[in-house]
Amino acid sequence: MKGLLQWVKEEGKQRGVIVNMSEWTLIDHGKEFPQQQNNFDCGTFAIVCADYLVDNLPLNFSQEDMEFWRHKIAIDILRGKLRY
């Protein structure tokens, strides 16, 4: 996680953006992340994990929910906005 935070800092530096490290909090969610069970839902899992974490929701979804999330993400993209 520290490596990821360092990457954010370096990317900001390359783009001329000052990243204030004191504004970031590292939270280790360890093994509580739901696990992908196939070879094609990695992007969907990443989006859903990020969405849940930003909204401080419990990570209580699973592989069985991915068809719903793939459709929701596709509809949101086509509409040009996120709907909850």
Question: pTM for this structure?
Answer: 0.62
- Domain locations in the chain as residue ranges: 1-29, 33-84
Q: Looking up tokens 């490290």, which residue turns up?
A: 21
From the centroid of its chain, how far is CA 69?
Answer: 13
Q: How many residues does the chain have?
A: 84
User: Which pLDDT tens digit goes with each residue over 61-71?
Assistant: 999 999 999 99
Instruction: Classify residue 37 by its DSSP letter.
Output: -
Model pLDDT for residues 20-70, shown as the tens digit of each residue: 888 878 777 666 778 899 999 999 999 998 888 888 888 999 999 999 999
